[in-house]
Structure 1
Amino acid sequence: MGYAQYDIVRNGQTITAGYAVPTTCEEPDCATDIDRGLAHLCGEMPGGDEHGCGGYFCGEHLYGFDPSRCKRCLDTTEGVR
């Protein structure tokens, strides 16, 4: 299976994800063009996990590394390891 385009279930909805799927940052009021690839993912798993919400964010709204998190998830998981 490649990661260019695939379907995932997130918050009960099926969405198309992958680095070939264009979208915009999911941070409110941000219109930065990104893709739904792993480089823009909050957490470790598409669809969300205990490390993040599974949303897709631009570099300005994604923090940390391995895994990267959006601001809301960073605030709720800070210090959890």
Structure 2
Amino acid sequence: MGYAYYEITRPNGEKIEAGYEVEAVCEEKGCEAEIDRGLAYLCGKTPGGDEHGCGGYYCGQHLYGDNQCTRCQPALDDVREPCGESHCRCYGEGAEHYECACGCDCPRDSDGELLTDG
């Protein structure tokens, strides 16, 4: 399948044209940004929707994190920021790196200070 033009069926049964040659408007209510229905503007990873997103098409201002719209992105309370401290395992070597790359969950003491190995 080429990605310039194709048809998809949304979960509600609606068939739409998609692809980077299909002109569209951001689907966020009230936004009129001109986009296309290519993968760069897709919420989720699969046209039509999947467990990662709804399959809607949004401008860069309304896609967050891992290409998710406001409704599909994790709750803000669940978003962790990398701490960037020198002993942070997010930036170190080892198996912990892949688990922390999107946000810091390195162990801290009761005062919030990063625990170090030594």
Q: Which residue number corresponds to residue 36 of structure 1?
A: 37
Spell out the pairing of 1:1-81 with structure 2 (5 A cutoff).
1-10=1-10, 11-65=12-66, 68-75=67-74
Structure 1 segments (4+ residues) deviating >6 Å: none
CA RMSD of aligned residues (A): 1.4
- Alpha-carbon shift at residue 75 of structure 1 (Å): 3.7
TM-score, normalised with respect to structure 2: 0.61
Give the whole-Å Cα distance in 2 for the aligned partners of 1:40 and 1:57.
5
* Structure 1: gaps (5+ residues): none
* Structure 2: gaps (5+ residues): 80-118
Pick the structure with more helix per residue: 1
Give the whole-Å Cα distance in 2 for the aligned partners of 1:71 and 1:59.
12
Q: For residue 74 of structure 1, what is the amino acid of its counterpart? A: Q
Give the whole-Å Cα distance in 2 for the aligned partners of 1:62 and 1:18.
17
Pick the structure with more strand per residue: 1
Give the whole-Å Cα distance in 2 for the aligned partners of 1:44 and 1:27.
18
Give the whole-Å Cα distance in 2 for the aligned partners of 1:12 and 1:64.
27
Percent sequence identity is 62
TM-score, normalised with respect to structure 1: 0.88
Give the whole-Å Cα distance in 1 for the aligned partners of 2:32 and 2:39.
19
**Greater Cα radius of gyration, structure 1 or 2:** 2
Which SS does the other structure have where 1:39 is aligned?
A: helix
Aligned length: 76
Q: For residue 8 of structure 1, what is the amino acid of its counterpart? A: I
